[in-house]
Structure 1
Amino acid sequence: MDVWQSNRITTAVEALRRPLKLHFIPFLAAGHMTPLCEMARSFAAYGHHVTIITTALNAISLENDVHLDIAAGHCINIHTLQFPSEEVGLPDGVENLTAVTDNDSLLKVCRAATSLLQKSFEDFVLQNPPDCLVADFMYPWAHDLAARLGIPRLVFNSFCVFSVCVMESIKKNPITGQDPHAFTIPDLPLPITMNIRPPIPFLKAIDKPLELEAKSYGLLVNNFVELDGVFVEHYNKITGHKVWHIGPTALIHRTEEETAKGTHKNEPCMSWLESRKPDSVIYICFGSSGTLPDNQLYEIACAMESCGHSFIWVVPGKDEAEKEEEKERWLPKGFEERMMKEEKGLILRGWAPQVKILGHAAVGGFMTHCGWNSVVESVGAGVPMVTWPLHSDQFYNEKLVTQVQGVGVEVGVEEWGVWVLDERKKTVKRDRIEKAVRRLMDEGEEGEEMRRRARELGEKAREAVKEGGSSHENLKTLIRELQETRDSKLVNAT
C-alpha cells in the first residue's frame, strides 16, 4: 500500500469518528420554529455540530437557550441572514408570522421566507455543506438542495402523523360538493367523522409540500408514538416513508424543577394559581396569533361568568391602558373587576407562560385552538381540552383529541379558516361555550374520565422523552442511521 492510499484510509477513519454536522432551517413562525429548534438542541446535546439558520430578529428569541447549550459544552451555532424587509414591503421588526396583524403582511412574511430568502439559505449551505439538512416542510426547494449535495434531507412537519394520514386520505378521495353535513374520512384504521369540510385553498396550499415531503429521507414530528397510536403504522403502510417521533419537545429540555407542578411563583399568574384547588381552573388561549373578534370574546366572557368556573384567559392584541368604552366592546361592563374581586378569573393581555400554566396542579382544562404545539403541551401536562379550532390542520387535531384519544370536548365550530388571521363570520354563542366547559369541568363522570385519560397520556409523554422512552430511542436510532449513511459514503469514496 503506497503512502497516498494509506493517508486516504487514515483520513477516512478519522472522518468516521467525527460528530455529525447538521443544518436546521426553521420556518419563520413561532409554532414551527420553537419545536424544530428544541430538536436541534437535542442533537447538539449528543455531541453533534448543529447550525440553526434564520434571520437576525428570530435569532434573538433563540439566543438564551443556545447560550445555555454552549455553556454546557454543546456545539450549537446560529447563522443569521438579512430579512428582505424593503423588498417585500414590510417595516423593520417584522420577521415572523407572530408579529403580523393582517393577512397581507402574513403573505409577505411567507413570500420572504419561502422564496426571497431561498438563495441566501442555499448559498450558506453550499459553502458550508453539512452531513444532513433538516428543513421545515414549508421549504420545498430544500429537496433539490440536499440532492445537489448528495446528503439526506429530513423534513420537519408541524403536523401530527394522524393529521397527515387524514390529509392523505382526503387527497386520494377528493371531497365533492358542498354538503355541510357530517361525513366520515375513508381508508383510516378508525372511523373519523368531520362536521365541516376543509377549504379548497388549504388543500391546495399543502399539496406540493406534502408531495415533496414524501420524497425526503424521513419526517420529524413533535410528538410521541403513543399519542398518534395506530396511525403511525397506518402512515408507514400507506406511504412507506420513515417517520421519527421526537417529542414532546416542550418536555425534553425542562429540568425537574421547571416541570414540577406548583413551583413557579415568579409570574403573577402562577402566584394566583397557588390559591386555587386542584383541577379547578380552565386555561383559555388561542395561540400567539389566534385573535378573535370582539363579539366572540364577549360571548366567551359571558359563558365563563355564567358557568362559574375559575379561569385564566389569554387575550392577545389588547392593551392594559385601553379606555373603558373600548373594553366594553369585548367584555361585559365591570366583568374584569367582578372576576378579580371574586377571585374567579384572571385576564392576561399578550404573552403567557403556557407550559408552566398547564403544568400547574390547579389547571384542570384547556380551551384551545388545537394548534399542534398547544395540543401536545396540554397532553404532556395531562390536561384535557375544550377544542375550538380556527384554521388549517387544527380541525384534524381536534379529532385526534376528541374521537381518537377521548381527552376533549368539541365546542362545535362551524367555520374553517384558510389563514390564521382570516375574519370570523360565524360566532360561537355563549350557551354552546358554557355547555362544553361544563362537560369538561363539572364534577361528573364524563369530565373525570377525560381527566383520567389525559393523566395517563401525560405520563406516557414524560416517559417518552426519558432514557429508554420511545422518543429518546427514536432520536438515538436516527442519529445512528445518519452516521451510517455518512460513513458508508466516506468508505465508498476511498
Structure 2
Amino acid sequence: MESQELHHHFVLIPLMVPSHLLPMVDIAKLLARRKNVTVTLLTTPINADRIRATIDTEILQSGSSLQIQLFQFPNSESGVPEGCESFDALPSTDLLQNFFKALSLLQDPLEEAFEKLRPIPTCIISDKSIPSAADIAKKFQVPRLIFDGTSCFNLLSTHCLRSSKVYENVSDSESFIVPGLPNKISFRKSQLPSSLISSSTRQLGISGFYEKVREAEEEAYGVIVNSFEELEEEYVKEYKRVTGRKVWCIGPVSLSTKDDIDEAQRRTTDSNEEEEEGQYLKWLDSWPARSVIYVCLGSLSRVAPEQLMELGLGLEASKRPFILVLRGAYKRDEMEKLLKEDGLEERVKERGLIIRGWVPQVLILSHTAIGSFLTHCGWNSTLEGISNGVPLITFPMFSEQFYNEKVIVEVLQTGVKVGAEKHMHIWGEDKDGEVQVKKEKVKEAIEKVMSEDDEESKRIRERAKEYAEKANKTMQKEGSSTLNISLLIEDLAHFMRMKMNPGVKPHTNA
C-alpha cells in the first residue's frame, strides 16, 4: 500500500548509452505516475535532447510530476571530444578509456545539480556504472538504489562466478558448470563478460573503475531489476537469499509506453525518419502473420562485415521475408562495398528490407507479421521480444549477452542458438573478417523456430506466447511488477520514518 503521508522525490541518474538511458526513462515514467511522487532525470544536455519528446508526451498524457535536470559532461577534463556525451557517440574505440575517465569525474557536476533540486530528494536510483552516485547519496544522506539493466539470472551468475572463481582454472574453450544456480548451466571462459575477467580490464586500463563499481554496488540500499518474477522466479529468490539484498523486479519497463506515438519517440538519434517508419510498418502489413524474420544486433554491434554478409545470405537462403537492420554497422564502408559486390540487396528486394538507420523496434516486434527475432541478446531487446511473444534466434556478442542466451534457450526455451561461441569485443579489434556463424547455420536456426511442421518449433512458439501473456499481466494493476513498485515506495516511506523516529523497526524485502 502506498504511503499517503509522505512525498517522495526520486532522482534517476542513467548511464550515457541508449540501452541504459531508455529503460531508466521508462522507470521514471512508472514512478511518476504514482501519487505523491516527483521524479527528476539527471543527465547531460545532449542526452536530454534524446529523451525530451518522450518526457513531454508523458507529462501531457499522464500529468506526471516529471522533470529533467542538466549537468555538464566533463569532456575537456577527460579528453572526450565535445559533442560526445554517450558511449555510442564516440568516434573511435580508442577513446574508451577517456569515456570511463569521464564517468569517474561525474561527482562534482552531479553534486552541483543535485543541490539545486526541489523538493529535496528522498531517493537516488543510479545506473550501477556511475559509482559517484554512492558518494552523493552518503553526503546528502538519502538511500541509493542501483539499476543494473540486466536480469536476476545475470546478477546471480555473476555473484556465483565471482565467489567460486571456477573459471580461473579452465582454458578459454573449456566448458564448466556455474555452481549455485537453480539450473545446470555451463559456459566457456571465452563467453564471460570482460568486466569479470581481471586480466581483460587491466589490459584496457579500466580495472580500477570496475572495482569502484563493485564497491558502490555493495553499499547500495537495494537493486531495481528490469525483469518480472514470473520470468525467473527461482533466480530472483536465490539472488536475494545469497546476497541478502533488497531486490525489486519492476519490468518489462518497455511496456510503460502507452501508444505508437510514445514508442516512436524513443528514437535516440537526431534523425527525422517518421516517414520511413510508416513505410516499414506498411511493408509489414503486406505479409502474413508470423512470416517475417526481424534481425537487429543492437546499436553497439562490432560484427565484422563478412559476418553480416553471412547473416544476409542465410536470410536469403531461408526464402522468407525479412528485415535486416544495420544501424551504425562496424566498418560501414566495407559493409556497403560487400553488399554492392555481392548484389544481395538487389536479389532480395521483393521480400527483404535492409535498413541503415534507427527503427521503432517495439512497434516492429508487436506487429503480427513478425515470426522470429534474430537478436544480439541485449537484455532490453530480449525483454521486448519476450513481451511480444516472438521466438528468438540468439547471436550474443559481448557483455552479459551469453548469459541472456542461456535464459532464452535453456531456462525459458523460447528460442534457439545461431551458433556464436565467443565474445566480439566492443572496444577492440577482433580478427579481421572473422566469421563465427555461416549462412547454413543461420538458415537452420530460422527453420527451428519458424517451421510449421516441426513439433519442437511449435512448442517454442507456444512457450513464447505464454511468456508474453505473463509479461503483459505483470504490468497490469494487480500484476507482480506493479505491486513491486508499490512495495518499493512503501519501503522507502518506512526508511524515511526510521530517520525521523529511530525506534521504528527496519523493513524487510522477502
TM-score (norm 2): 0.86
Percent identical pairs in the alignment equals 34
Q: Which residue of 2 aligns with 1:272?
A: 283
Q: Which residue of 2 aligns with 1:431?
A: 440
Question: Does residue 233 of structure 2 align to residue 229 of structure 1?
Answer: yes
Larger-gyration structure (1/2): 1
Given the alignment, which residue of 347, 365, 374 partners 1:367?
374
- Give runs of aligned pairs for residues 404-419 of structure 1, distance below 5 A: 404-419=411-426
Given the alignment, which residue of 327, 331, 335 partners 2:344?
335
Given the alignment, which residue of 72, 75, 83 partners 1:85?
75
- Give runs of aligned pairs for residues 249-260 of structure 1, distance below 5 A: 249-255=253-259
SS in 2 for 1:329: helix
Q: Which residue of 1 aligns with 2:34?
A: 46
Displacement after TM superposition at 1:141 (Å): 2.8
Displacement after TM superposition at 1:333 (Å): 2.6
Aligned amino acid, residue 397 of structure 2: L
Q: Say whether the 8 Å CA contact 2:391–2:460 is kept in structure 1.
A: yes
Per-residue Cα deviation, 1:375-425 (whole angstroms, up to 9, x for no partner): 011001111111011101001111011010001111121221443665355
- Which blocks of at least 5 consecutive residues in structure 2 are unaligned? 199-206, 264-274, 504-510
Given the alignment, which residue of 76, 87, 92 partners 1:97?
87
Given the alignment, which residue of 131, 139, 143 partners 2:130?
139
Aligned amino acid, residue 393 of structure 1: E
Given the alignment, which residue of 316, 335, 338 partners 1:305?
316
Q: Say whether the 8 Å CA contact 1:297–1:331 is kept in structure 2.
A: no
Q: How many residues align?
A: 470
CA distance 1:396–1:267, change in 2 (3 Å):
same
- Give runs of aligned pairs for residues 290-329 of structure 1, distance below 5 A: 290-317=301-328, 327-329=336-338
Given the alignment, which residue of 390, 393, 399 partners 1:386?
393
Q: Say whether the 8 Å CA contact 1:214–1:241 is kept in structure 2.
A: no
Q: Which residue of 1 aligns with 2:186?
A: 193
CA distance 1:209–1:54, change in 2 (3 Å):
same
Q: Say whether the 8 Å CA contact 1:311–1:345 is kept in structure 2.
A: yes
Q: Which residue of 1 aligns with 2:176?
A: 183
Given the alignment, which residue of 114, 117, 122 partners 1:125?
114
SS in 1 for 2:219: coil
Q: Say whether the 8 Å CA contact 2:302–2:425 is kept in structure 1.
A: no
Given the alignment, which residue of 466, 471, 474 partners 1:461?
471
Quote the Cα distance in structure 1 between the aligned partners of 2:77 and 2:344. Answer: 45
Q: Which residue of 1 aligns with 2:360?
A: 353
Per-residue Cα deviation, 1:337-372 (whole angstroms, up to 9, x for no partner): 2211xx221111021110011101110111111011
CA distance 1:26–1:200, change in 2 (3 Å):
closer
- Which blocks of at least 5 consecutive residues in structure 1 are unaligned? 1-14
CA distance 1:198–1:266, change in 2 (3 Å):
closer
Q: Say whether the 8 Å CA contact 1:301–1:331 is kept in structure 2.
A: no
Q: Say whether the 8 Å CA contact 1:291–1:315 is kept in structure 2.
A: no
TM-score (norm 1): 0.89
Aligned amino acid, residue 141 of structure 1: S
Q: Which residue of 1 aligns with 2:405?
A: 398
**Aligned-pair RMSD on alpha carbons?**
2.6
Q: Which residue of 2 aligns with 1:12?
A: none
Per-residue Cα deviation, 1:107-127 (whole angstroms, up to 9, x for no partner): 323321x21222111233245
Displacement after TM superposition at 1:472 (Å): 0.5
Q: Which residue of 1 aligns with 2:141?
A: 150
